[in-house]
Each structure stands twice: as C-alpha cells, then as structure tokens.
Amino acid sequence: MKALMFGWEFPPHILGGLGTASYGLTKGMSMQPDMDITFVIPKPHGDEDQSFLKIIGASYVPVVWKENNWDYVNQRIGHIMNPDEYFWLRNGIKYDFRRIYTNDLGCINFSGRYPDNLIEEISNYEAVASVLAHQLDFDVIHSHDWLTYPAGAFAKQISGKPLVVHVHATDFDRSRGQVNPVVYDIEKRGLDAADHIITVSNLTRRIVIEKYHQHPDKVTTVHNAVEPLEDADSYTKTPRKDKVVTFLGRITMQKGPEYFVEAAHRVLQKTKNVRFVMAGSGDMMNAMIDLAAKRNIADRFHFTGFLKGRQVYEMLAESDVYIMPSVSEPFGISPLEAMQVGTPTIISKQSGCAEILTHAIKTDYWDIDAMADAIYAIVENPAMHKSLRELGCEEVHNIKWYDAGLKVRKIYDTVTGNG
C-alpha cells in the first residue's frame, strides 16, 4: 500500500502537536510490512528521520519550468534532493503556475511555519500537489490538518485516487467558537472532498458531524498515541523543597492558560511551597504575565518560552504535576508525554485524551476550584502522587502508535477497495 501524505511540519522542527502526531503515526504505520509512505512538508531541513518513510520538500518541487543544468541544481539543493529527482519532477508540470512567484529553480519558497500569508502558502501547496500527483505512484492520499486539505483534494482530482483527511483540530477548537469564515470554508471543502475522515477523538468527530455536516458513516475516530521513550529513566527530578506545577503548550485561548494562572492563585492561598511554570509561547503570553502580576503571584511564576525536543521531557520530569486546562483540545499528546516520565497529570474533560486516559485527574476547564484542589492534593499527598505516577506510567506504556496505524490501514483498505 503506497500512501501519499501531505503534512505541514515534521520533527525535529515542530511548532506544535501536529508534527509529533504525524511522526508517531507514520512510524507506527511503517511497521506494516507492505506500507510505503511518501510524506510531503513545505520546507524540510535535511535532518528529518527518513529511515521509515520518504520526505519530499514542497520548496524543492519545481512548479514552473526553468532551464537549469545538473551541476547548478546540485549546487543549489543537492544537500536536500538528488538533482535527478528534481528533473524528473519537473516533467510533472502540466499547468501554468507563472502567476506564483518562484525562484531560479521554478520552486516556491515556503516558510515552513505559520506566516501572515498562510492562506497564500496553502494555495501554493496545491501547485506542488499537482506536480506530485502527475509523477508519483500511490494508492491513497492522506492530508493532515486543514492546511493540506486543498493540496489533497487537487491530488485526488488529478489522480482519481481516494482521499483520506485527518482532522487534528478544527477552527472551532482554535477560536473558542469565533470561527474564521475563510478557514472554515477550506476545512468544509476538504471534508466534503474526502472519501473518509479520521478524527483524533470522539469530541472532534462530533464537531465534524455537527458543524461541518458530514455523514457519521464517513467519520472514524483514531485516537493519538505516544512515541515510546527509550531513555525515560534518564529524566530525573532535581531534589528541592518547592513543588513544581507545569503548563506546557501554546499560550493561546484554546489552551486555557488563564485558568492555570487562576488555579495557581488559589493554590498559593493555601501553601507557598509551590512554583508554577508556563512553558511555551503564544499571543496570550504577555497577558498571562500581567495576570500573574495582578494576582500578586509573579514571584512564584516562571515563563520559560518555547521548549522543544529533550527540553520538553526535562521540564515534564522536573515537574511534580502537569496540567492541561484546554478549553477545546482535539486530543492533547503532552499529558501522555508527562505520564511517560512519571509526572501526575490533570487534564480538562474537554480534551480528546480524556476519552482514553484512566489514571489522570479530569476537571472541567472552567472549574478553577476543582483544578486547584487537585493540584493541592497531589503536591501535599505523597501516596496519591506515587499512585498516579506508577499507574500513569503503566497505562501510557500501552498506548501505541502501531495500534493507531492498524486502524488507519483498515480505512485505507476500505477506500481503495482492498477491505
């Protein structure tokens, strides 16, 4: 089974959970002996793990014919792509994309991020998809998140191959209901074009059915998992008197950071031996700094900025409690990562991972008192901390990407007629 996947980010260069999920799922699926995955991202850096799939960088796929010799192409992009592949892909240019600004190789310079002109980059991704759809051999198209739905739909239109779209989040999650009509339209058209839709939770499945008017038979939940942490024992807690409670994620309204600050204020009214860490970055960061100051808890509050790679696990392992107070979280992989290093976890009931986790404390995101009570109980009760630590580790060890991959494969078999 050959899958052509369109994504937006891939480790080690990630900006959120999308890249982590894409990596885990593809690695899990690659354990199937006949699975062949080509994964497209806007801008690779050359240090991505390609041991189990092939990565194609959209920034190196020509969409406008430019005359170049082999040596020049090798000089320009040889560190990322074999020039022979460049020339072979160039033969897939079937449409006139000269309206798009391209470089001397006829390629589009994607940022590989979420820039101000994101809608333009999403549209340009379609041009790349058309070249790949004409040249590559594949059985199914798989588009990860709304950013790649137009590319997947265009590839389906050209190739006639079935399209599976993967909903990692919707604009209803990101905006607390203040939906951007342009984004909604892109999401809706992508979901309409799909032969099947995968959602990362039943929470997201309900949104897709109710808000995007998709038939329930067309939508299947495949919960996320977590990549095994081979060196979990290497992450240790520094001996100290104060307890540490951590929020780790984008500091945006979807993630509920203000509820974390307010819960911290409640906890610190009962005990002073707790420090609170907000790890991440986002458009609400300055507001959270101001709120901590307003609540007169700034001396017990720490802002680390964006963490990645090993830094994430080091911060989670240093924590006595991890908390994810998301207002609407399609899944949420970070609690699973916290549990891997033995950190007790509190999650909002409005998160997808709450559907599969038993040994995490669950509260409503808005219930600051319940959240504060849970934090206080864990930091003050060593037996409770120990129980959540041990049971959480055991539980998360059995949530595997391989199993998620088998469910996705079953969907592939159905849409391709092999099931």
pTM of the model: 0.92
Question: Please, which pLDDT band fits residue 231 given cuts at 50, 70 and 90?
Answer: confident
pLDDT exceeds cutoff 80 at 95: yes
pLDDT exceeds cutoff 90 at 310: no
Q: Which residues of the chain does CATH 3.40.50.2000 include? A: 2-225+401-415, 232-397
| Percent composition of the chain: helix, strand, coil (DSSP 3-state, to 5) | 45, 15, 40
Tens digit of pLDDT for each residue in 360-404?
999 999 999 999 999 999 999 999 999 999 999 999 999 999 999
3-state secondary structure labels for all residues of 25-76: HHHHHCCCCCCEEEEEECCCCCCCCCCCCEEEEHHHCCCCCCCCCHHHHHHH
Question: Please, which pLDDT band fits residue 34 given cuts at 50, 70 and 90?
Answer: very high
pLDDT reported for residue 175: 82
Name the CATH topology of 232-397.
Rossmann fold (3.40.50)
pLDDT reported for residue 407: 98
pLDDT exceeds cutoff 80 at 195: yes
Specify the CATH number of the domain 2-225+401-415.
3.40.50.2000
Question: Please, which pLDDT band fits residue 148 given cuts at 50, 70 and 90?
Answer: very high
pLDDT exceeds cutoff 80 at 176: no
Q: What whole-number percentage of the chain has pLDDT above 90?
A: 90
3-state secondary structure labels for all residues of 121-183: HHHHHHHHHHHHHHHCCCCEEEEECHHHHHHHHHHHHHHCCCEEEEECCCHHHHCCCCCCHHH
pLDDT reported for residue 237: 83
Question: Please, which pLDDT band fits residue 309 given cuts at 50, 70 and 90?
Answer: confident
Tens digit of pLDDT for each residue in 238-257?
888 899 999 999 999 989 99
pLDDT reported for residue 16: 76
